[in-house]
A and B are shown apart, each in its own frame.
Chain A
Amino acid sequence: MTSTLTAPAPSRSRSAAARSRRRRPIDKGKLLAWLTIVLVGAFALLPVYWMLVTAVRPAGEVFQFPPKLLPTSVTFAHFQSFVSDPKLLGYLLNSVVVSVATAVLTLAVATYTAYSFSKFRYRGRSSLMYLVLASQMFPHALLLITLYLLFNAFGLLNSYLGLVLSFTAFTMPLCIWMLKGVFDTIPDAMIEQAKVDGAGRFTIIHRIVLPVAAPGVVAAGLFAFIRGWNDFIFALTLAGPDKQTLPPGLVNTYVGEFQTAWPALMAASLIVSVPVIVGFVSLQRYLVAGLAGGAVKG
């Protein structure tokens, strides 16, 4: 009996809820927000999309007028031509070598400098900090000439070392300031406590501070890596033909006096952006934590 009386109730209730859901008025604010996000997203991704479709289009279709959003035929020949060109693979290797070395060298120096700026009080500290920042204000062309003069005198032109040193010179100041912001967020009490427990300076930096500051360090390292990976003019001028990295290498290969091989250039650009995307994705949680933890507070 009871069951016959009570059984239909949930069914009525569910259908009422469904009707209620159907009738719920549309939240216009939310809809507008979503529309905006979709539009901005599409706008931001359009160049990437265009790059992709250009890379897979046959050369003759690239300049079709009016342009078409979708390629009528797809080819992977441009990707193939990149991976089968030993010269381009050489540029890729050079890029990996100098970008990794730049990131490592920048972090090695910037970490200790930033720690010093953040946790020690000494005469001239403030001036030194601003001097480091001021070096960012020199035009790159001027810095390049100075480096060219120095490297020419010391025989460092056309070498990995010269390139790494030059990249490090312009990534260092910003990395120092990024890392100083990170170290500032670490309470001095933690360091004092470690001292009370008998830890030496080396132990404090490497066992206590750096693990806590790891997200910030990763963020700074990624910044240095990308800066080295993307640089064009320093690499073109200081590296010489043998040690050239990808940006000048790609321009040299695909951009000519009379024409630019757009599909091949786009395919190559997609390939070379993969390491950066992989780096970002795999280190994303560190990056977000690093930025949120003061890496950009300066």
Chain B
Amino acid sequence: MDRTLSRRVLLGALAAGTLAACAPSGGPPPSTQNENADGLTTDDGVKDVTFTSWSMNEAASKAQLQELLDAYKSSAGVTIKTPSYPYNDYLKQVILQLQGGQVAGAVQLDVTWVASLGAMGKLADLAPLAKDVRYTEAGLKVGQYDGKQVGLPWTHGAIGLVGNSELIERAGITTEPETLEDFEAALTELKGLGGGVVPYAAMTKVANLKDIVVWMWTFGSPVVEDGKIVVGDEPSVEALTWYKGLYDKGLIGKDMDRFDARALFGQGKVGLYDDAAPARKFVSANATDPKIGEKLVAWKRPVLKAGDQPQAMAWGHVLAVVAGGEGEYAAGQFVKHLTSDADTAITYFKSAGYPPTTQQALENPTFTGDPFASSFVEKVTATSKSDPLWVYPQSAQLYETLAKQVQAILIGDATPKQGLETAREAMQKLVG
């Protein structure tokens, strides 16, 4: 067990929530991934699996997941320990524990953290486990770092526009808007409903303002190009000018994060907002309208010009395995089962709303027969892509820097050009 620990790495991890301190400048560091896959493919006889996660404590998934784990325990004859940390502190804790050699076995990861954890070189390359499974191409991709499959996709989708069909209908919107112009017109119709309805509960609080990246893509900014941050280019400035326009016209909510948006949506006070594929579960949990889940519809994100490709940010969870040490084989089998067994994936989807990641499960009638889930896959997930900022171990800091400037723009403390240029300079400094 590696007990050496870099003070610099840990300080960076704790203070900033990223592995900034251990990353060389200029982009992702070279991989030190464990090349030896023997531990994954040769049974060492260990029957104990440790599964570090946050989902085992989440109200949305805990009970359902426990059932799946119990089923696996009896079928595979293993014991499963489930240490967990709160989602918001999870990355820092896992980095610390991983560096301190305190964590082993299977580890749940958000797709946005794959690079941070992959850069540490302590996760096993799971390619041998993935080769005979029909995972979706996009799903596999979000689990890759530096050419290695450091995580197997557990649930995969995107963050896209979801709407309240009842409000949309009441506002007289009969066709899904294609362009930004149509979209703005639809929002104006929704605003006309009155009664405190927020037409578009877009993110305006720093915590979730990273969503702005999707709108920058929509206007044509790549955000990162040839290893350089290009925030502040003409398309991104146009995107912010447009976004600020919606803000000033009262078409998007003020001081809103995803928690607020979901809560208000559950009260029937939001026309549209951005959320991940299992949105139905989240908005139904505390809703006053018991039928809100049935009213949920997925919309393609509007585009700048008719015919452009709608943009969406990939979203999902992957399962990784800590390389080396006892129980690597058992952890690998567990990860493979949880991510690829069709019955398990469909059960998880049915009970918790998390979309599966294998072709077999996606073709299952239970999934295809769900109108919201299947239309979300078709309209949102299909064109989703990973954020180029994820490849930087400092992505959390990059997002925070960008979000602060976007907020300054929204409240009028900076012009879109000034704010984004300030953001670009600070972001570029962070990545070297």
Contact = CB atoms under 8 A, between A and B. Distances in A.
A276 B314 CA distance: 45
A252 B83 CA distance: 11
A254 B62 CA distance: 11
Contacts of A62: 263, 286
A157 B59 contact: no
Contact of B96 (A64, A65, A148): A148
Contacts of A260: 259
A236 interface: yes
Given A60-B288, A64-B288, A259 B84 contact: no
A158 to B, nearest CB: 8
Interface in A226-251: 233, 236-237, 240-241, 248, 251
A153 interface: yes
Contacts of A252: 57, 84-86
Contact of A64 (B59, B110, B267): B267
Contact of A141 (B15, B60, B269, B276): B15
Nearest to B88: A255
A258 B288 contact: no
B54 interface: yes
A251 to B, nearest CB: 5
B249 interface: no
Contacts of A148: 5, 10, 96, 100
B278 to A, nearest CB: 8
Contacts of A240: 83, 102
Contacts of B287: 60
Contacts of B234: none
A145 interface: yes
Interface residues of B, number: 43
A122 interface: no
Contact of A259 (B7, B89, B286): B286
Nearest to A238: B96
B262 A144 contact: no
A40 interface: no
A248 B14 CA distance: 16
Contact of A241 (B58, B84, B100, B263): B84
A240 B15 CA distance: 20
Given A241-B83, A252-B85, A145 B264 contact: no
B3 interface: yes
Most A CB within 10 A of own CB, among B84, B102, B286 = B286
B88 to A, nearest CB: 7
A60 B286 contact: yes
A65 B11 contact: no
B96 A261 contact: no
Given A141-B14, A142-B11, A145-B10, A258 B196 contact: no
B285 interface: yes
B118 interface: no
Contact of A248 (B83, B86, B285): B86
B87 interface: yes
Interface string B260-291: 00111011010000001010011001111000
A256 B55 CA distance: 8
A120 interface: no
A142 to B, nearest CB: 7
Contacts of A259: 59-60, 259, 262, 282, 285-286
Contact of A256 (B14, B60, B83): B60
A152 B3 contact: yes
Contacts of A236: 85-86, 89, 93
A159 to B, nearest CB: 12
Interface in B57-107: 57-60, 83-89, 93, 96, 100-102
Interface in A114-158: 139, 141-142, 144-146, 148-149, 152-153, 157-158
List the 8 closest pairs (A to B, CB-CB), nearest first: A63-B263, A257-B87, A241-B83, A256-B58, A141-B14, A145-B10, A251-B86, A258-B282
8 contacts: A60-B288, A144-B14, A158-B102, A233-B89, A248-B86, A252-B57, A256-B58, A256-B59
Given A59-B285, A148-B96, A252-B86, 19 more contacts: A62-B286, A63-B286, A65-B196, A141-B14, A145-B7, A145-B10, A145-B11, A145-B14, A148-B10, A152-B5, A248-B86, A251-B89, A252-B57, A252-B85, A256-B54, A256-B57, A257-B58, A258-B262, A258-B276
Interface of B: 3, 5, 7, 10-11, 14-15, 54-55, 57-60, 83-89, 93, 96, 100-102, 110, 196, 258-259, 262-264, 266-267, 269, 276, 278, 281-282, 285-288
Interface of A: 59-66, 139, 141-142, 144-146, 148-149, 152-153, 157-158, 233, 236-237, 240-241, 248, 251-261
